[in-house]
Amino acid sequence: MRKRLINLFDVSENLNKVVSYFLFLAKKNNKFLTNKKLQKLVYYAQAWSLVLNNKKLFDDEIEAWVHGPAVRNLYFKFKDFGFNPIDIEFDPEIENKISSEDKELLDEVWRVYGKYDANYLEILTHSELPWQKAREGLDLAELSSKEINTDLMKDFYTKKLEEVKQQENEQNSTS
């Protein structure tokens, strides 16, 4: 099967780097990425960058779609793959084109979320407040282009991090 080369210029340069890096990690780890899973990884990368690095990784809007968070232009770039793995050529030099801070963050997002399939990540995002808030008042199957608020993402995942730290402190104090 011949690989297709996809032009990602319809998404921001920074999002293009994030996508290319996740595709690189998938190939490096002999894993496959579907459009749906990629969308969730991009979402979590943005969320944790807001929390840990106090900055957006990219400026593209993340919308609250039926199957979870999605970047519209990114979805359409890979739409032809359907639920199949994305099989494209990507920048082989991506490791050298991404800052060490961003690389560290993306590696951690991959470590934590990359092991799950797209359906699990969809369920996970559906259980979390940022997606739920953006979908407020909508039926489960109703299409939406409502943006997921990045301030809410930062607040929600900051609280998640604080909860984990508190649990670790409690476990350490009882040991």
Share of the chain above pLDDT 90, in %: 81
In terms of Cα–Cα distance, which of 11, 21, 144, 137 is closest to 78? 11
Tens-digit pLDDT profile for residues 23-66 = 999 999 999 999 999 999 999 999 999 999 999 999 999 999 99
What is the DSSP annotation of 37-91?
Answer: HHHHHHHHHHHHHHHHTSS-S--S--EEETTEEE-HHHHHHHGGGTTSPP-B---
pLDDT of 149 above 80: yes
Tens-digit pLDDT profile for residues 115-125 = 999 999 999 99
- pTM beyond 0.95, yes or no: no
Residue 8 and residue 22: Cα distance in Å, rounded? 14
Domains of the chain, residue spans: 13-174
pLDDT of 2 above 70: no
Q: Which two tokens stand for residue 161?
A: 């991090």
